[in-house]
Structure 1
Amino acid sequence: MSDLNSNIVVPRSELEARWAKCRRFLPEIAPQAGGMLCFSRLQIYYLSGSFVNGAVWLPLDGEPVLFVRKSFDRARIESSIKNIVPFKSFKDLAPLAKEAGVPLTEVMGAETAGLTWQLGEMLTSRMSEFKFVPGDKVLALARALKSEWELEIMRETGERHNSALVDVLPEIIEPGMTELEISKYIWNVFFEYGHEGHMRMQSFGAEIFLGHVSAGDSGIYPSSFDGPLGLRGVHPVSPFMGSGAKIWDKHSLLSVDAGFVMEGYHTDKTQVYWAGPKNSIPSSVLDAQLFCQDIQALAAENLKPGTIVSDIYSMVLAEAEKRGFSEGFMGLGDNKVPFLGHGIGLTVDGFPPIAKGFDLPIEEGMVFALEPKHGIPGVGMVGVENTFEVTKDGGKCITGNNFDIIFIDK
Structure 2
Amino acid sequence: MVQNYAFTVTERFLRYVQTDTQSDPASNASPTTEKQKNLSELLAGELLLLGLKDAHMDEYGYVYATIPSNSDKKVPVICFCSHVDTAPDCSGTNVKPLVHKAYDGKDILLPDDPTQVIKIEDYPYLKEHIGSDIITASGFTLLGADDKSGVAEIMDMAHFLVNHPEVKHGEIKILFTPDEEVGRGTAHVDLKKLGADFAYTLDGGEAGTFEDETFSADAVTITVHGVIAHPGYAKDKLVNSLKIAGEILAALPTQEWSPETTIERQGFVHPVAVNGIAEKATIDFIIRDFVSAKLPDHENKLRQLAQEVLNKHPKAQMDFVVKEQYRNMKEIVSQYPELTANAEEAYKRAGFTVRNEPIRGGTDGSRLSFMGLPCPNIFTGMQAIHSKHEWIGVKDMEKAVEVLVHLAAVWEERAK
Normalised-by-shorter TM-score class: under 0.3
TM-score in terms of structure 1 length:
0.24
* TM-score normalised by structure 2 residue count: 0.23
Task: Considering fraction of residues, name the structure with more helix.
Answer: 1
Report which structure shows greater RCO (CA 8 Å, sep ≥6). Answer: 2
